[in-house]
Amino acid sequence: MNEPSTAQDNKFLKLLTSEIVLGTLVALLSILAALAGYQGALIGAQAAGDEIEAIKMLTESNTEYLRAQQIVIYDSPEKRGISAPRANVVK
């Protein structure tokens, strides 16, 4: 008595296999797939922009690092003719 009757099963199966229902499901699936592709393209474009910004920042930081190294080298006491104090080494 708790089990659905065979007539109800057949009616549900006919509805599910109906061409209109199948067509609607295929159309819905196509729309959702297109939406997912669109969102993926948007995220990909944003990621590419962020990567370019990161490369730009890395390049600028490398430039500043090299500039600082040049300042250290050119301002060293040896370059100005002053001997730098050395640690006493005991042999």
Per-residue pLDDT tens over the stretch 6-34: 767 777 777 777 888 889 999 999 999 99
User: Measured between alpha carbons, how far is 85 from 49 in angstroms, rounded to an integer?
Assistant: 50
Give the C-alpha distances (Å, rounded to integers) separating 57 from 50, 51, 69: 11, 10, 18
pTM of the model: 0.49
DSSP H/E element including 37: helix 19-74
| 30-54: burial string, b at 16+ Cβ within 10 Å, e else | eeeeeeeeeeeeeeeeeeeeeeeee
Quick: pLDDT tens for 40-76: 999 999 999 999 999 999 999 999 999 988 888 877 6
